[in-house]
Structure 1
Amino acid sequence: MAGLVWKDIIYIKKMWKTMLFAVLFFILFSFSRNDAVSSMALIAIMVGSNFSMIPFNYDNYSKWNEYQYAFPISRKTAVCSRYLFGVIVFGCCALIYALIMMFQLFIINEIPEKEDLLLQIGVVCFVPVMQSILFPLIYHCGVEQARLYFVAIFALIAMLVIGCSSVIVNMFCEENTIMIIAAMIIIPILLYIFSLRLSINIEQKKMA
């Protein structure tokens, strides 16, 4: 599994310039708008989800899927390695947010409000939720069709986030902070595990 994960990381290393540009755009665009939280939310989800698709794209173009099982690799191992790579992408998004928070605190001396902080944590935790939706779609429909479905889902979520931003902020102000943080951690984990099992079942059924 380590070799498969490293293969995916090498794919990302080939696109380090694009990654650097995306990260800089991610940070600068967020601070250039008054509604920085919503902007950061949409960009984080887009960056996290697109980076998660890069290995699928490379595998599709290189025809790796056609001969990878000629090696002693089980379908379950291949799927698990891709989800482990998704965890690494999620960790990178979390690191970006940590850097942004440090920039806010130590460079511009701005302390975020409680509801803004909760929203930012929620954004980070939403990246694996999008991966949980995206990965089974790719295994079931293929990369090209899954990309179309994902764009539609992303657009719907973006409209919901923008349209309900005030409601979400009010909810974060009124509800118990500990319960909100616990939900934002537990729900993505459960969805990720369910998505992993679903993707394994989809991939194993291709053997029949």
Structure 2
Amino acid sequence: MLKDLYSIRITQKTYIIFFLFLCVFGYMMKSPTYVGTMCIVVFATCVLSLFNADQYYHWDTYAAALPLSKKMVVQARYLLIIVMTLVLALFTAVMTGATAVLLGMPVAEQVIGSVSTCMIIPIYSGIIIPVIYKLGVERGRVIFMMLFLIPFLVIMLSKDFIRGTVAESELILLLQTSNGQLIAAGAIFAVSILVLAVSYLISIKIYSNKEF
């Protein structure tokens, strides 16, 4: 885990500047939740970069020579995902809240929506990590792109399918209330925990069968 943190620290200034740019851009777009949405993209890219670094420096071969079990190596990567998700959620909550105040928007609703978006990060990570362990970084990059395209297409098709129906009005009403947003946030959080747990078990099984 320290190895990953050191890798991230090398480019931390770039990430900080980029996040500040997102905050300014979110203010200009009058959309505080924009920060949380883009955090998913940045975080997913960061995870992919860590696997790229592992491959470039032959980390797995080096780790096999250390007094570390393969299970510990996988645990460190997933623990990093959890820690970084919590840090990003806290950062997003602060920046979204500040942006909402400046724009005169309801702070609680904007913060809940933005933090809920960050909870999608473990879902993306939970899908991509076992794929990379199984297929490698190059093929994993293709799946990485599909993970962003498929939800976008599903949302666009769903909007056309339910447009003008009772389901659309009920969904809009649900997401416009604090209670509805809390329910949605709770559902996303539960799904993220489930996906990450299943992904962890799959990754351990895949990584344990690899030879370095």
Give the ranges of 4+ consecutive aligned residues of structure 1 lying more than 6 Å apart after TM superposition.
none
With the length of structure 1 as denominator, give the TM-score of the two structures: 0.83
Distance 1:100 1:159, change over 3 A: farther
Partners of 1:105 and 1:36 in 2: CA distance: 6
Pair 1:157-2:151 in alignment: yes
Distance 1:155 1:29, change over 3 A: farther
Tell me the residue number matched to 2:142. Answer: 148
- The unaligned stretches of length 5 or more in structure 1 are none
Which shows bigger deviation, 119-128 or 27-36?
27-36
Q: Which of 50, 59, 62 pairs up with 1:67?
A: 62
Q: How many pairs were matched up? A: 202
1:27-66 correspondence to structure 2 within 5 Å: 27-34=23-30, 37=33, 39-66=34-61
Distance 1:6 1:105, change over 3 A: same
Distance 1:170 1:163, change over 3 A: farther
CA contact (8 A) 1:118 1:172 kept: no
With the length of structure 2 as denominator, give the TM-score of the two structures: 0.81
Tell me the residue number matched to 2:201. Answer: 197
Tell me the residue number matched to 1:187. Answer: 191
Kindly report the root-mean-square deviation, in angstroms, between the aligned alpha carbons of the 2 structures.
Answer: 2.7
Following superposition, the deviation at residue 119 of structure 1 comes to: 2.9
Distance 1:124 1:42, change over 3 A: closer
Tell me the residue number matched to 1:10. Answer: 6
Distance 1:127 1:99, change over 3 A: same
Following superposition, the deviation at residue 106 of structure 1 comes to: 4.8
Pair 1:172-2:178 in alignment: no
The amino acid across from 2:184 in the alignment is I
The amino acid across from 2:120 in the alignment is F
- The unaligned stretches of length 5 or more in structure 2 are none
Tell me the residue number matched to 2:114. Answer: 120
Following superposition, the deviation at residue 47 of structure 1 comes to: 1.1
Following superposition, the deviation at residue 159 of structure 1 comes to: 4.0
CA contact (8 A) 2:174 2:181 kept: no
The amino acid across from 1:22 in the alignment is F
CA contact (8 A) 2:130 2:206 kept: yes
1:18-64 residue CA offsets vs partner (Å, 9 max, x unmatched): 21222123212222225553x44541210121122232121111111
Partners of 1:151 and 1:201 in 2: CA distance: 25
